[in-house]
Amino acid sequence: NELYAVVGHPISHSKSPRIHSLFASQTGEAIEYTAIQAPMDDFEGTVRQFFERGGKGLNVTVPFKEQAWELAGKRTQRAEKAGASNTLYYDEDGVLTADNTDGQGLVRDLVDNHGVDLGSARILVLGAGGAVRGVIGPILARQPASVTIANRTVSKAAALVSLFADEAGATELSACGFEQPDVPFDVIINGTSASLQGDLPPLSTNVIDDHTVVYDMMYSLTTTTFNQWALDHGATRVFDGLGMLVEQAAESFRVWRGVTPETAPVINELRND
Ligand code: ATR
C-alpha cells in the first residue's frame, strides 16, 4: 500500500482518513491514509520525515496551510493565488509541490451536488481570511455577475479584491463591511470563523430572500449558527461545508492517484455517522 496522511494540530477529529479510505475501497486503489499531529513548531520536520519514509502525498489542515505553501519548491497556479496549500506531493522531477483543492471543492459541492448555478449569480462572500482567499479564484472562474466580499476588517476584503482583480473578467468584484449590503443575493457563502465562537456577522436580514442559497463553509452535526440565522430570516436552501470537505478530498485523491472517486456515497455515509 502507498502511504498518504493529513497533517494538522489538532488532528484527532479529522474526517480525512475515513473519507480517503472510503475512496480507496470504492476505487480499488491500494492506499493507506493516516492522521499525523505535527508539533506546532515543527511542521517542516514532520513533512520531511513523512516523505523520507516513503509517503506519497499529504493533506494539510489548520494551522499549517500557509506553511505548506511556503515550504514547497513549486506551486500549482491555483495554489499560488490561494496563498495556502492543503495538498502536497513530489512531482516527477522530485520537487515538493503545493496544490490547493479547497476552492474547487466548494464550487463542485455548490454546482454539482446542490445544482446551484453560479454563472450570472450575485454572490456575497463573508470573511477575508485564508479560507476565503482559497475559494475566490474558483468562484470567479464560474463567471458570476458579482462577488461582494464583506469582512469585519474591510481593508482585508479590499486587499483580496486587488489580488483577484486580474481574474474577475466581467464579474463585478468589490469589498465592504458587514453592515453595508442591503439587497437580496442569489448566493451567500460564509467563510468567517465567527461561528466557532458562536458569533454572527452583523448582516442586514435584507440580504436573504426565499430564493437565496446560503452556504456555510463550516460543518457540524447540527445546523450551523449562521445557517440557523439564515433559516430564521426566510432562507429555504441552506448547506453546510461537509460536501466541500469531501469534494476537496476527492480532488486531492485525483491529483495523487489520477482516479476520480464518486463523492455522493461518501457524503451520505458521513452524514449518517
Ligand atoms: P481562516 O483560515 O478560517 O480563514 P483567518 O485567516 O484567521 O482564518 O480568517 C478568519 C476570518 O473570520 C476573517 O475574515 C475574520 O475577520 P477579520 O479579518 O476582521 O479578523 C473573520 N472572523 C473571525 N472571528 C469573527 C467574528 N467574531 N465576527 C466576524 N468575523 C470574524
Query: Is 56 close to ligand 1, i.e. is its CB under 6 Å away?
Result: no
For the chain, which residues make up each domain, given as ranges?
2-100+243-271, 103-240
Q: Compute the CA torsion angle 167, 173, 177, 181 (nearest 10 deg).
A: -150
Could you identify the atom of ligand 1 that is nearest to the CA of residue 65? 2
Q: Ligand 1: which residue has its CA nearest to atom 27?
A: 194
101 is in an annotated binding site: no
Could you identify the atom of ligand 1 that is nearest to the CA of residue 196? 24
- Torsion angles phi and psi, residue 5, rounded to 5: -160, 165
Q: Write down the H helix ranges in 178-263.
A: 225-232, 242-257
Question: 79 C-alpha to center of ligand 1: Å?
Answer: 20
Instruction: Name which CATH class applies to 103-240.
Output: alpha beta
Q: Ligand 1: which residue has its CA nearest to atom 24?
A: 194
40 is in an annotated binding site: no
Q: Quick check: helix, strand or coil at residue 187? A: strand
- Tens-level pLDDT at each residue, the chain (273 residues): 999 999 999 999 999 999 999 999 999 999 999 999 999 999 999 999 999 999 999 999 999 999 999 999 999 999 999 999 999 999 999 999 999 999 999 999 999 999 999 999 999 999 999 999 999 999 999 999 999 999 999 999 999 999 999 999 999 999 999 999 999 999 999 999 998 888 999 999 999 999 999 999 999 889 999 999 999 999 999 999 999 999 999 999 999 999 999 999 999 999 988
Q: Which CATH superfamily is domain 2-100+243-271 in?
A: Leucine Dehydrogenase, chain A, domain 1 (3.40.50.10860)
Q: Do domains 2-100+243-271 and 103-240 have the same CATH topology?
A: yes
